Amino acid sequence: MFESAELGHREDKETFVAEVPKLRESLLDAQFDLAQVKRFPLIVLIGGVDGGGKSEIVNLLNAWMDPRHIQTHGLEEPNDEDRQRPHMWRWWRQLPPKGTTGLFNGSWYTFPILQRAHRKTKEVHLEQSLSRIQRFERMLLDEGALLIKFWMHLSKDAQKKRLKKLEADPLTRWRVTDQDWEHFEMYDRFRKISERSLQVTSTADAPWTIVEATDFRYQALTVGRHLLEAMRKRLDGLPEQLTILVPPLPPRLDSVNVFQTLDLTQHTAKPDYEVELERLQGRLNLLTRHKTFKKRSMVIAFEGSDAAGKGGAIRRVTGALDARIYRIIPIAAPTDEEKAQPYLWRFWRHMPGAGRMAIFDRSWYGRVLVERVEGYCAEADWIRAYSEINDFEEQMNRNGTLVCKFWLSISPEEQLKRFEARKETAYKRFKITEDDWRNREKWDAYEQAVCDMVDRTSTASAPWTLVESEDKNFGRIKVLKTLVDRLEREL
Amino acid sequence: MFESAELGHREDKETFVAEVPKLRESLLDAQFDLAQVKRFPLIVLIGGVDGGGKSEIVNLLNAWMDPRHIQTHGLEEPNDEDRQRPHMWRWWRQLPPKGTTGLFNGSWYTFPILQRAHRKTKEVHLEQSLSRIQRFERMLLDEGALLIKFWMHLSKDAQKKRLKKLEADPLTRWRVTDQDWEHFEMYDRFRKISERSLQVTSTADAPWTIVEATDFRYQALTVGRHLLEAMRKRLDGLPEQLTILVPPLPPRLDSVNVFQTLDLTQHTAKPDYEVELERLQGRLNLLTRHKTFKKRSMVIAFEGSDAAGKGGAIRRVTGALDARIYRIIPIAAPTDEEKAQPYLWRFWRHMPGAGRMAIFDRSWYGRVLVERVEGYCAEADWIRAYSEINDFEEQMNRNGTLVCKFWLSISPEEQLKRFEARKETAYKRFKITEDDWRNREKWDAYEQAVCDMVDRTSTASAPWTLVESEDKNFGRIKVLKTLVDRLEREL
């Protein structure tokens, strides 16, 4: 696939000088429009061989465009916050908000390719990385990002010449490192691995553009023109709302569902409850002080109908823990910084470090529950959420982050009773809102959504636990027991 | 000052059992009100001697209150992101947003006290830290935070007993470390240093509460009651807008001001400009690749009237740099996450790491310029901003972060000319807004604000550079030259 980029493409100075002012003007205009509509981010990846002028192109784009709306990211070794979290965390942190541009000199491709080239990883790891990258980019595209990927290419001869030339000039000598020559020795290997990587990640909406890097004018104009064209096409053609048609979920032909496996009459008598609670809390406390847990982490998601007892269950969990190791994240309306990012961004940002626990009071499952039922997002958005969520949890799992998910289940009758009881109590913090009453009317729709959610997102590494919570004591014990069992199995 | 906390305070079980349910109820109510009004954050520091039950109190507060609205912070060694930035950065990162509670088990006091106790720092360093802490807390209080500080105290005998008791129990033995005994050996020294620290940082609106830690019931009730009282007093007594009276700035008796030192007729001819530009850009590039700079960092603030040429000047600076080392931060309206924090938070969050540069296109000086002139904030707010800003910049300076500040100056006539020219050009991105015309009418008020700003915030380590920008070329060269000179002097 590199053939066309080894033909000695050149651009003469005259054309270049004539075209650049117009090109810059148009790029600035496009960037201005992007900042005005703020409907999507522009993400530009600059990859390629050493000596292929990646930094020069990145610097040039900053000079041509308005650098105030560009965030440029170089490639650094992951720092200690990165290392404790899933691989993609550092990239989630760097995603540009809608309306702005993220320019990546080296990207999520770099380490997988380098590590494979240096034989630090096996072929299967490269393939796993590429597969993860594909899903990540799919998510970005579905979220509306304009993703443009450039690969700067030099033939083996051309690379050698380039490195020698840089070395010969005292002003540029510092830029050629031993590592560059070391990489050059591996040229063929690099090429093969890069080719494979580019091939499987070139999709219709985010193809790689391979740019021959022997002539800087040619390279610069190719990048500039393509960028402009892609931005213009998206800006001019963008409808208010992207309409994506997806196949619907399969219909359910009978009313047999996971809820029927639940026996809501189960209960735990108070004396038993108190003994069990203390035993399990003690056990949980010890487990979180286990030396293996100091290298792992845990993410717990609580979902359930209103008044199902999420808050009470969470307090029984945190009651067992040292307050320094956990963080509770109550999920409310997203902030404007969160709205300017892909849906899962506001959960990624709370990813716990080593030895820590993040407890979500409501979670990313809002997408396939309330947002689905209330129509807050398009059908295509919540349908794709199932796979995005599985991917999210799988990445945590690979990182050694244990994922536990609870659905607290009560009957509509019990919910009504709890609502009425809340109305009675003086504590204003238990005020029942209009929403709560309205949600009750959609009980069946919610039940359906919960069944679909469990069917599609209960995985071996991140299983759902349905908790019979009609009796609060029974529910709380089940939650604690599930956490303790999980930790005992994994540590 | 510890005398009253060595008297053997106890609370009997009966009182405790009777009071706790009411106390919890009231604390939850207060917390609910806090979350509703969202007008201030609650910041609780728990400090004190080893074995003084700090963790137990923190855990208890999490159990008594609603842990979903509490962020608990333990004390960890600074990580590599922290280490590259001023001391207080890690605490700025952890500040709770308005409406929520930040619970600090160990705080900004811990390291200064420990380091001094271990003789890793001199007395002068402790005093500097305490002075920095006072200014930080002053800022928090002025920003409306409710700051409550508890110090858990044990007499020497009581501490020894406590440690021995913990060691004797197999369940708590793990909690007593060699370090605890080592600290115990230094009890008297610790006590002296702590006393000094508490003394100078006990202010009327954020005094330390010293709590005897021999009896946990006494300790818990003291903390709980005091917390409740302080929250209630603030919640019930809080006016919509705090009115603080501050003395006005001294009047200016004549029209002699710093602008008169500027000769706006200075200009640089195009051929000279091009030679100088290239020379200075080359020099700047080399300086940022200097090995010393890799351990330092730089913050540049650009201010100036509309159309004074900030954008153009910034582009001439970034044109010299590798795009990976700088970040431009255009200052627009704060996001809602930023509005929930103290004013300077949104600048602290962009603090550059080692070898990096942060370029602010408009800056924290907005507080004493546009916000002052347009009345967007209270007089007390912009008047206190001068000292907060000096403190902010001083902290960068101590960290080795170079601070450069530019005011780009043009005459009203030149501004008008540029406005007219912009109206002519087709580029919509240069649209002149109503605001721009309106600001012109306040030229004198702005000039006054700029003079006050320069008088009050131009310091040896963070001087203002007034840039005659009537001639764009002259201005750009002056900016570059200032940066180059500064770096040459410092590296």
- Per the structure block, which two tokens stand in for A32? 């201005």
State whether A55 and B174 contact (CB < 8 Å): no
Q: For residue B428, which residues of chain A lie inside 8 Å, CB to CB?
A: 29, 32
Q: Residue B109 domain-assigned?
A: yes
The answer to whether residue A336 scores a pLDDT higher than 90 is: yes
Taking only the tens place, the pLDDT of each residue in A437-454 is 888 889 999 999 999 999
Taking only the tens place, the pLDDT of each residue in A305-320 is 999 999 999 999 999 9
Tell me, what amino acid is at A286? L
Residues 353-412 of A with CB under 8 A from B: 361
State whether A323 and B29 contact (CB < 8 Å): no
- Three-state secondary structure call for residue B408: strand
The answer to whether residue A240 scores a pLDDT higher than 60 is: no
Whether residue A285 is found in the same domain as residue A322: yes
State whether B72 and A311 contact (CB < 8 Å): no
Residue whose token pair is 């008594």: B64
* Chain A touched by B159 (CB under 8 Å): no
d(CA A202, CA A194): 12
The answer to whether residue A6 scores a pLDDT higher than 90 is: no
- Three-state secondary structure call for residue A206: strand
Taking only the tens place, the pLDDT of each residue in A359-403 is 999 999 999 999 999 999 989 899 999 999 999 999 999 999 999
Longest dimension (CA), chain B: 89
Taking only the tens place, the pLDDT of each residue in A141-155 is 999 999 999 999 999
The residue in chain A having the minimum alpha-carbon distance to the alpha carbon of residue B30 is A429
* Chain B touched by A133 (CB under 8 Å): no
Q: Are B212 and B195 in contact (CB under 8 A)?
A: no
Q: What is the pLDDT of residue B431?
A: 65
> Which ranges of A301-355 would DSSP assign to H, the alpha helix?
310-318, 336-339, 345-348
Given strand A357-361, what is the order of strands in its sheet?
Answer: A326-330, A357-361, A297-304, A401-409, A464-468
Confidence band of A245 (pLDDT split at 50, 70, 90)? low
What does DSSP say about strands A146-153 and A208-212: parallel, antiparallel, or unpaired? parallel
Tell me, what amino acid is at B388? E
Q: Are B200 and B149 in contact (CB under 8 A)?
A: no
The residue in chain B having the minimum alpha-carbon distance to the alpha carbon of residue A353 is B79
d(CA B236, CA B229): 10
Whether residue A135 is found in the same domain as residue A185: yes
Q: What is the pLDDT of residue A248?
A: 76
Taking only the tens place, the pLDDT of each residue in B118-145 is 999 999 999 999 999 999 999 999 999 9
Shortest CA distance to A54 belongs to which of A118, A117, A103? A103
Nearest to B59 among A62, A322, A328 (CB): A322
d(CA B454, CA B441): 22
Number of domains in chain B: 2
Nearest to B323 among A28, A58, A361 (CB): A58
Report the gap between the CA of A138 and the closest CA in chain B (Å). Answer: 26
Give mean pLDDT, residues B197-213. 91
Whether residue A54 is found in the same domain as residue A138: yes
Q: What is the pLDDT of residue A431?
A: 65
Confidence band of A436 (pLDDT split at 50, 70, 90)? confident
Q: Residue B249 domain-assigned?
A: no
Give mean pLDDT, residues A451-469. 94
Give mean pLDDT, residues B47-72. 94
B252 versus A396: which is more confidently predicted?
Answer: A396
Shortest CA distance to A202 belongs to which of A152, A156, A145, A147? A147
Q: For residue B361, which residues of chain A lie inside 8 Å, CB to CB?
A: 68
d(CA B370, CA B366): 5
Q: Residue B128 domain-assigned?
A: yes
The sign of the dihedral angle between the CA atoms of A114, A116, A121, A125 is: positive
- What backbone phi and psi angles, to 5 degrees, belong to B374? -85, -5
- Range with the poorest average pLDDT among A109-118, A242-251, B448-457: A242-251
Q: Residue A431 domain-assigned?
A: yes
The answer to whether residue A244 scores a pLDDT higher than 70 is: no
Shortest CA distance to A404 belongs to which of A303, A253, A278? A303
Q: What is the pLDDT of residue A260?
A: 84
- What backbone phi and psi angles, to 5 degrees, belong to B466? -85, 130
Cross-strand partners of B104: B45, B73
* Chain B touched by A74 (CB under 8 Å): yes
Residues 265-294 of A with CB under 8 A from B: 289
d(CA A447, CA A458): 16
Whether residue A229 is found in the same domain as residue A265: no
The alpha carbon of residue B143 and the mean position of all alpha carbons in its chain are separated, in whole angstroms, by: 11
Q: What is the pLDDT of residue A247?
A: 77
Q: Residue A250 domain-assigned?
A: no
d(CA A106, CA B477): 33
- Per the structure block, which two tokens stand in for B143? 């920003």
The sign of the dihedral angle between the CA atoms of A383, A385, A389, A395 is: positive
The residue in chain A having the minimum alpha-carbon distance to the alpha carbon of residue B427 is A29
Nearest to A324 among B105, B311, B322 (CB): B105
Q: What is the pLDDT of residue A417?
A: 92
Whether residue A215 is found in the same domain as residue A290: no
- Per the structure block, which two tokens stand in for A110? 């770099």
Whether residue B354 is found in the same domain as residue B470: yes
Taking only the tens place, the pLDDT of each residue in A9-20 is 899 999 999 999
Shortest CA distance to A6 belongs to which of A302, A215, A237, A231? A215
Q: What is the pLDDT of residue B261?
A: 84
Nearest to A327 among B32, B71, B289 (CB): B71
Residue whose token pair is 């004074």: B308
State whether A63 and B318 contact (CB < 8 Å): yes
* Chain A touched by B26 (CB under 8 Å): no
* Chain A touched by B78 (CB under 8 Å): no
Whether residue B335 is found in the same domain as residue B306: yes
The residue in chain B having the minimum alpha-carbon distance to the alpha carbon of residue A361 is B68
> Which ranges of B202-333 would DSSP assign to H, the alpha helix?
216-237, 270-288, 310-318
Percent of chain A whose predicted confidence (pLDDT) is above 90: 77
Confidence band of B254 (pLDDT split at 50, 70, 90)? confident
d(CA B153, CA B157): 12
Q: Residue A382 domain-assigned?
A: yes
Cross-strand partners of A329: A360
The answer to whether residue A428 scores a pLDDT higher than 60 is: no
Q: What is the pLDDT of residue B239?
A: 62
Give mean pLDDT, residues B446-458. 93
Whether residue A450 is found in the same domain as residue A377: yes
Q: Are A215 and A10 in contact (CB under 8 A)?
A: yes
State whether A429 and B28 contact (CB < 8 Å): yes
Q: For residue B283, which residues of chain A lie inside 8 Å, CB to CB?
A: none
CA B471 to each of CA A253, B409, B415: distance values in angstroms, whole numbers, following the listed order? 77, 10, 12
Q: Residue B331 domain-assigned?
A: yes
Q: Are A406 and A303 in contact (CB under 8 A)?
A: yes
Tell me, what amino acid is at A415? Q
Q: Residue B247 domain-assigned?
A: no
State whether B335 and A336 contact (CB < 8 Å): yes
Domain residues for the domain of A43 are 3-237
- What backbone phi and psi angles, to 5 degrees, belong to B465? -115, 115
CA angle at B316 for the pair B314 and B319, rounded to the nearest 5°? 105
- The predicted complex's ipTM stands at 0.84
Q: What counts of helices (H) and strands (E) characterise chain A?
A: 20, 10
Whether residue A309 is found in the same domain as residue A378: yes
Q: Are A360 and A301 in contact (CB under 8 A)?
A: yes
Whether residue A81 is found in the same domain as residue A143: yes
State whether A29 and B72 contact (CB < 8 Å): no
Taking only the tens place, the pLDDT of each residue in A193-232 is 999 999 999 988 889 999 999 999 999 999 999 999 999 9
Tell me, what amino acid is at A73? H
Specify the CATH number for the domain of residue B430.
3.40.50.300
Whether residue B186 is found in the same domain as residue B333: no
State whether A73 and B324 contact (CB < 8 Å): yes
The answer to whether residue B387 scores a pLDDT higher than 60 is: yes
Taking only the tens place, the pLDDT of each residue in A397-427 is 999 999 999 999 999 999 999 988 887 765 5
- Three-state secondary structure call for residue A371: helix
d(CA B241, CA A269): 52
Kindly state the DSSP code that residue A431 receives in the 8-state scheme: P
The overall average pLDDT reported for chain B is: 92
Taking only the tens place, the pLDDT of each residue in A273-304 is 999 999 999 999 999 999 999 999 999 999 99
Which residues, at least 6 apart from A210, have a Cβ–Cβ distance to it below 8 Å?
A1, A2, A4, A5, A150, A151, A153, A198
Whether residue B226 is found in the same domain as residue B287: no
B243 versus B373: which is more confidently predicted?
Answer: B373
